[in-house]
Amino acid sequence: MVSMLLQLSVFKKIYKYNATHNNRIFTKLNTVVTQLNVNENMGPLLQLLRPDRWKILQLLKINGQNEKEFSQLRISEHEFNEFIEKHNWISQKGIVMVPESNELETNSYLMINHDGRLFQNNNGKYHTSSPIQKIGLKRAITQVGFSYSKYILNVVGVMKLLSETKAFFIIIINNMLYNIHIVKMYLYIFIILYYIIIHLLQLLIFMYQIGGKNVTTKKIK
């Protein structure tokens, strides 16, 4: 109860700030779904807090942090999906829902600790890279097992969820006007997708050319 009142107090201060400033603050609420809350109805709280984005995470086992409590708190993927389906109506209230199962949570984040090292959760524990300043970012990424494909899938999933709500246009416009960092993020995504398409086209052209040469050789013989 105290935690909820504290959250409400913080969100109220943000709403008050947004009402009087052009540089708007966007809000995000994270919820880890466990046996303690999998049957709860989060709707009333979400309507009260009205975050711009709600990220829902399935409890993930991390050795050295929660392995003792995990067996009692864990939920199945089916239970997690039921929790998401039960709250799908929230997306119609202008709140963007971003669910992440255990599969999407692993190898899909790039996190930096206080030592300037990347750390990533995979195979049930955190893996840490050498200091980025010493070995460079590219090599550090290879040391922690980052999955570009999962990251892209996460981004595509977010875009799909956004496009299915009225909040899509509101958030895009607000980001363009007040948050240049978000605009940069979408630009980076566009560049990544552009290079993927270009490489696929080059591969198809190469395969077509190779096939054409084989056909020509047979005719000559």
In the prediction, which pLDDT does 79 show? 96
Domain ranges of the chain: 1-104, 109-146
pLDDT single digits (tens) 37-84: 999 999 998 988 889 889 999 998 888 788 888 889 999 999 999 999
Q: Using CA atoms, how far apart are residues 167 and 173, in angstroms rounded to an integer? A: 10
In the prediction, which pLDDT does 141 show? 86
pLDDT single digits (tens) 171-181: 555 555 555 55
In the prediction, which pLDDT does 83 show? 96
| Enclosing H/E stretch for 109 | none
Place of tokens 């009333």: 44
- Residue 61 identity (one-letter amino acid): K
In the prediction, which pLDDT does 42 show? 93
Whether the predicted pLDDT of 122 surpasses 50:
yes
In the prediction, which pLDDT does 2 show? 44
CB burial of residue 207 (10 Å; 0-12, 13-18, 19+):
exposed
Closest to 182 (Cα-Cα) out of 18, 15, 26? 26
pLDDT single digits (tens) 185-205: 677 777 778 878 887 887 777
Is the pTM here over 0.85, yes or no?
no
Query: Which residue would you say has higher pLDDT here, 150 or 70?
Result: 70
In this prediction, residues 17-46 reach a mean pLDDT of: 90
- Cα R_g (the chain), whole angstroms: 22
How much of the chain, in percent, has pLDDT values that exceed 70? 73
pLDDT single digits (tens) 12-21: 888 888 888 8
| Enclosing H/E stretch for 221 | none
In the prediction, which pLDDT does 10 show? 85
How does DSSP classify residue 93? G
